[in-house]
Amino acid sequence: MELVFRILLLLLFIGFIANRAYTTRKAEAAGTTAQKERADTPLLKLANLLALPALMGTLAAVFSPRWMAWAALDLPDWARWAGLGVALAGFALLQWAQVTLGKNWSDRPRLLAGQELVTGGPYHWVRHPIYTAFLMILGSMLLISANWFVGGLWLAMTGIEVAARVKYEESLLAETFGKAYESYAATTGRLLPRLL
């Protein structure tokens, strides 16, 4: 069974990278120009620094698990399968959000020429469903890998990246769309739907 989870971990990682590469290339081919773009911050640099050990740990967990045995978690198989369910739900949410954004999608936080305020699809309930999907997909690696080092690094990296992106995007959207964005933000959750 361990081999199955290692293969699933690899497929999950490849699927995430393939999705990011495809959507980024598609956006670049559309030739949309940015009117305003975020500069790198210390938080983003920290997130980028965490990416390399997370990647190396993932590859070691897949191809030579004994190297990562020191960080193994004793998780039952059902928890690891639940991790796969979370990842698949994350991919579905990611696809739905990207399709809903259409020409408004960008691979990095920035204001595009002709940008519109999108409030349909998953954006009806959540302001940043793509980041929710990132957390679901990369966070599920903790369960699937059953390795606190691999999963912890992906969660930390993604959490830091999401926090920095959300802060910038929300200020940019508030500045651009004013009252319309404020009204929208008052009725939606940041990463999860509002319960009340």
Task: Assess if residue 63 is contained within a domain.
Answer: yes
Task: Assess if residue 25 is contained within a domain.
Answer: no
Report the pLDDT value the prediction gives residue 127, as an integer from 0 to 100: 95
Task: Assess if residue 123 is contained within a domain.
Answer: yes
Domain containing 66 equals: 2-14+40-99+119-187
The number of angstroms, rounded, from the C-alpha of 156 to the middle of its chain's C-alpha atoms is 12
DSSP tag of 95? H
- Residue 106: pLDDT band (50, 70, 90) is confident
Compute the distance between CA of residue 66 and CA of residue 62 in angstroms, rounded to an integer: 10
Task: Assess if residue 69 is contained within a domain.
Answer: yes
Report the pLDDT value the prediction gives residue 58, as an integer from 0 to 100: 96
Q: What is the pLDDT of residues 163-180, one digit of tens each?
A: 988 988 898 889 889 999
Task: Assess if residue 84 is contained within a domain.
Answer: yes
pTM, entire model: 0.90
Number of domains the chain contains: 1
Task: Assess if residue 77 is contained within a domain.
Answer: yes
CATH number where 45 lies: 1.20.120.1630
Separation in Å, CA 122 to CA 22, 92, 95, 118, 160: 21, 11, 10, 10, 23
Range list of H helices, 31-147: 42-63, 77-101, 129-145
Report the pLDDT value the prediction gives residue 83, as an integer from 0 to 100: 97
